[in-house]
Amino acid sequence: MIFKQLLSGRQFSSFILIKDNPNHSAHHLLLKIIKDNVEKKNSVHLFNYETPNLSQWEKFTSTPEFVSHSCYHDNWDLKLDGFDPKASSSWASQVSNEEGIFNVVIIDSISLALEDLSLNSVCSQLKALKALNDENHRTQVIGVINTSLTDDDTVAFKEVNRLAESLITLGNLPNSFSLTVQHRKPFGKLMDGAYTVNLDEEKGFVFSEESKTVKGSEDIKPVESSPQVLTTFKLTLDDKEKESRRQVILPYLKTSGGGGGKIIYEPDANDDWDDEDPDDDLEI
């Protein structure tokens, strides 16, 4: 169950990218991640580009493990209340580098950060955060990307996704609130799973697994490229049809099994025998 492993930290991912969409917000998933990490006494840093205030995170603000960084940028340098000064420091420089501390850095959201920062700056800052990982330090980056602002086809999404080790896509399955997880392991192995998620009054964010597969990296191909999807013809056989096919004895195999076959030709009276060499005219 890759999602559970990622949330619990059993499967470490240095950069988890959460892809939300206009009708499915990542808010409750982030609340779950923050709550779990705060309970484990991990240091959680939230870089908030979404709102000028912290009202939606207020239940964590009194927790010492939770550090919020207001990144609501003052692009026009109007020096208004609630805005972050234009030239603020980088994400990595604001994260503790003390030995033994597990840092969880949440960027909410990368799409809105891209409204203020260049793609180069965002990517280099993400790389800097990932580079904090070594034998003594663990830093996990969790970034939200809004598909309405940063489409899958954009360079920004492709570049950021390339840096991510895990991709959580929200609400991409019909009829329920669901999420899919893809985690790239070292050496290219891909683990994925689909989950249905609900909000329980007592337990909060709960999820149940729909399916799980483990594939080799060579299997990672977009489904759309398969000819099966592109045509209405049936191009494959099911197991029953394959078994029936195996039962069929092909005509040329019927005689080959007998063994010791021999061709006997009896000349007919009307046969026109010619004793001349047929290749005589070739002057070989």
Partner 1 sequence: MASFIKGLELDKEDLRGKLFALKEEAGSDDSFCLSCLMWQCLSKQDSGLLLLAAQRPFNHYYHVGMKLGYNLMSQSKRAVVLELGKAFCGGSDDELFADIGTGKDDALKGLFLGLKRRLEELKSQYRHVYFIVDNLSSLLFLGFTSGQLTTLLHYLRTLADDSVTLVISLQTTQDDEEETRLSAYLCQIADFRLTVAPLRTGSSQDVSGSIELIKKDVSKIESWTNPMLYHYKLSERNVKIFLPGNI
Question: Is residue 56 close enough to count as binding partner 1 by CB under 8 A?
Answer: yes
Contact window for partner 1 (CB under 8 A) among 8-16, 84-92, 117-125, 144-152: 144-152
The neighbour count for residue 212, using CB atoms within 10 Å, is 14
Contact window for partner 1 (CB under 8 A) among 21-29, 122-130, 236-244, 262-270: 21-29
Question: Is residue 198 close enough to count as binding partner 1 by CB under 8 A?
Answer: yes
Question: Is residue 185 close enough to count as binding partner 1 by CB under 8 A?
Answer: no
Query: DSSP secondary-structure letter at 277?
Result: -
Q: Which of 10, 39, 52, 58 forms a contact with partner 1 (CB under 8 A)? A: 52
Q: Which of 65, 137, 177, 184 forms a contact with partner 1 (CB under 8 A)? A: 177
Judged by beta carbon, residue 171 or residue 193, the one nearer partner 1 is 171
| Rounded Cα gap, residues 106 and 128, in angstroms | 14
71 burial level (CB within 10 Å; 0-12, 13-18, 19+): buried
Judged by beta carbon, residue 20 or residue 165, the one nearer partner 1 is 20
Q: Which of 45, 140, 142, 171 forms a contact with partner 1 (CB under 8 A)? A: 171
Contact window for partner 1 (CB under 8 A) among 4-12, 160-168, 196-204, 213-221: 196-204
Do residues 30 and 170 touch, judged by C-beta distance below 8 A? no
Q: How far is the CB of 143 from partner 1 (least distance, A)?
A: 16
Question: Is residue 33 close enough to count as binding partner 1 by CB under 8 A?
Answer: no
Q: Which residues in the 60-89 window bind partner 1 by CB under 8 A?
A: 72-73, 75-76, 78, 80, 82-83
Give the pair of three-digit tokens for residue 167.
Answer: 């991709």
Judged by beta carbon, residue 108 or residue 165, the one nearer partner 1 is 108
Q: Which of 1, 9, 27, 36 forms a contact with partner 1 (CB under 8 A)? A: 27
Give the pair of three-digit tokens for residue 43.
Answer: 């240091």
Q: Which residues in the 216-235 window bind partner 1 by CB under 8 A?
A: none
Which spans of this chain sit near partner 1 (rule: CB under 8 A)? Answer: 22-25, 27-28, 52, 56, 72-73, 75-76, 78, 80, 82-83, 111-112, 115, 146, 148-149, 171, 177, 197-199, 205
